Amino acid sequence: MKFKFFIIFILGASLLYGQKAKSDLYFKVDSIIKYELKFKFDSLKSVVQKPEWDTTKQRGLYPSFSSFPEHPPPLIILDHTIYQIEGLNDYKLRHVERITVYMPGDSISTLLYRKSAINGTVIITTKKHARKTKKNNRKEKRRKIRIFKRMTRTN
């Protein structure tokens, strides 16, 4: 009896140890998707089908991928890169500067990301990326001021 319990304990521990622990950012985004966006994952409709190239030229448009999931998951963007929710395990919540949530059917996210944002969008900006963006914005502002000063001197 003790031997059976020991074997079951070892197998259970090895299964738990083999799984990668999920980060706090993963749980935060998962709760946003479930409770704010009210999205329920459906294993049949949320699957991205194998893309097939549509070669018919319709209304002057160029060929595009025609297959798109019927019920796509919410779009997750981390520092201008699209991620699946499993990809957030490598990031910690303490490194996040801001999380912006666009609800399903929001005109801004639909305009920016088209069909990918039908069921909502979660945009995550890390502190490192925010500092880099602010620094680039300051450089751009200084450059514009220098150009403006040069233009006013010549006139």
What whole-number distance in Å separates Cα of residue 55 and Cα of residue 48? 20
- The secondary structure of 88-149 as a DSSP string is GGG--GGGEEEEEEE-TT-HHHHHHHGGGGTT-EEEEEEHHHHHHHHHHHHHHHHHHHHHHH
Single pTM value for the model: 0.61
Neighbours of 74 (CB within 10 A): 23
Neighbours of 121 (CB within 10 A): 23
In the chain, count of helices (H) and strands (E)?
4, 6
The label of the residue with tokens 């622990």 reads 21
Q: What's the pLDDT tens digit per position in 25-57?
A: 888 998 999 989 888 876 555 555 455 555 555
Q: What's the pLDDT tens digit per position in 94-144?
A: 889 999 999 988 888 888 888 888 889 999 998 887 777 777 777 777 887
